[in-house]
A and B are shown apart, each in its own frame.
Chain A
Amino acid sequence: MLTKRIIPCLDVKDGRVVKGINFLNLRDAGDPAETAAAYDAQGADEVVFLDITASADSRDTQLSWVRDVASTLFIPFTVGGGIRTTDDFKAILREGADKIAVNSAALMNPDLISDAAMKFGSQCVVVAMDAKRIEGTDRWTVYKNGGRVDMNIDAVEWAIKAEKLGAGEILLTSMDADGTKAGYDLELTKAIASSVNIPVIASGGAGKLEDFYTAVEAGASAVLAASLFHYKELTIREVKEYMKERGISVRL
């Protein structure tokens, strides 16, 4: 039976993992490859890297750490951040990444989704979307530039469009829930997951074991968390054991 996936997310800046990582026994806790390998050993199903390096001329650095990760990590990994063209896709995939996440670039140029899907296959095109509720409604709009600019595009409509254009997965971050540790935005997750037939990865708000379970119940195919795992408040194994006890299929 296909399992629900637990995905740790790592922020990378100038080739280094930036959040404080408390893994023991790592020679270099800021090294993306070593950190990701530690997550693999913990039972992570995939790893997502978000490159938050601001400048566009940092591509060489990015390619270098992606290459290192590909040499040591034998589970799938996604790279997002600053990817704007199909040439960017090509360069990163060639270094061994499995999937590419696009966010603002896809909003500005939706054809990027279809072009990339045509050239490299839908399986490697992840459309990341940052969504925020329009206050007092059951609607959400999507934002670009790391949540700074409201595009006034309905989140459900954008998800449907992304699927039509050839996205293979949707990485859905709730801006309202992100950082609150009060749980994923279940209404948003349900609204998106029930509107598309591609997997939805829920992101933003995980604070306790139950949150992962309720997100899956709301329709998420995978759940992503960053700081919770970084700061070892929960381990991936704990999350999986909790889900398994509740009848959710996981890889243990």
Chain B
Amino acid sequence: MIAVVDYDAGNVKSVEKAIEKLGAKHILTSDPAEIAKADAVILPGVGNFGDCVSKLKERRLDIALKEYAASGKPFLGICVGLQLLFDESEESPGVKGLSILPGKIKKFPASADLKVPQIGWNDIVESKGRLLDGIPAETYFYFVHSFYLECEDSSIVTSRTEYGVTYDSSVEKGNVFATQFHPEKSSDAGLKVLSNFLKIAGEV
């Protein structure tokens, strides 16, 4: 069973619908015990980094997610769900992330010809790893974000994307996967990514 983490942080519906479309079963939960029992966990998220950390902590999900990630079972973070896995974010100075992976989240540089947030379809300039299996470089995905990942361990970066800077748009370490883009909103390419995750999890 896949657990989609429900912590009142935006649009989980599309993630749920995409999982259903791909033929897997899931529960939507904010219960740490359910997460510990799950065979795979998806952490979606939209919104402010600090707010999201608070919401996870209120539900004691910060500890549950760290323990789950350490268990070696498949985990997928999406958008802010990627950002939360790292140490800190310029969006919320002083707030500690989950530190499951090493790196920080930075703000896109301000400039006249760079609209922030980045909203729309951008491509990945390289592509590797199990999550992106079958996805060539230059595939387009849907992004909505104002802050980007600078990962400290380049060996776990599986794709990069250009927007003012070239930043890390997906990572993979063991069974911990994360994408800055929204696979659930990225048409066929995105469904392929989710399908890869469900296969890794043995759910389809």
Contacts and interface: CB of A to CB of B under 8 A. Distances in A.
Interface of A: 1-5, 40, 45, 70-71, 74-76, 93-96, 98, 120-124, 168-169, 197-199, 221-222, 251
Give the top 3 A-B pairs by smallest Cβ distance, nearest first. Answer: A96-B13, A251-B140, A251-B121
Contacts, number: 85
B55 to A, nearest CB: 13
A168 B116 CA distance: 9
Interface in B95-113: 112
B133 interface: no
Contacts of A70: 13-14, 17
A75 B143 CA distance: 11
Nearest to B46: A121
B116 A197 contact: yes
6 contacts: A2-B143, A5-B121, A74-B18, A74-B190, A96-B14, A122-B117
B119 A221 contact: yes
Interface stretch (B29-37, B65-73, B148-156, B179-187): B179-187
Contacts of B123: 1
A198 B184 CA distance: 23
B47 to A, nearest CB: 5
How many residues of B sit at the interface, in one of the four size bands? 20 to 34
Report which residue of B17, B118, B162, B184 has the largest number of chain A beta carbons within 10 angstroms of its beta carbon: B17
Nearest to B194: A74
A75 B17 CA distance: 12
Contacts of A95: 13
A98 B185 contact: yes
A197 B115 contact: yes
Contact of A222 (B117, B120, B142, B191): B120
B10 interface: yes
A214 B64 CA distance: 52
Contact of B118 (A2, A74, A251): A2
A165 B70 CA distance: 41
A1 B122 contact: yes
B10 A120 contact: yes
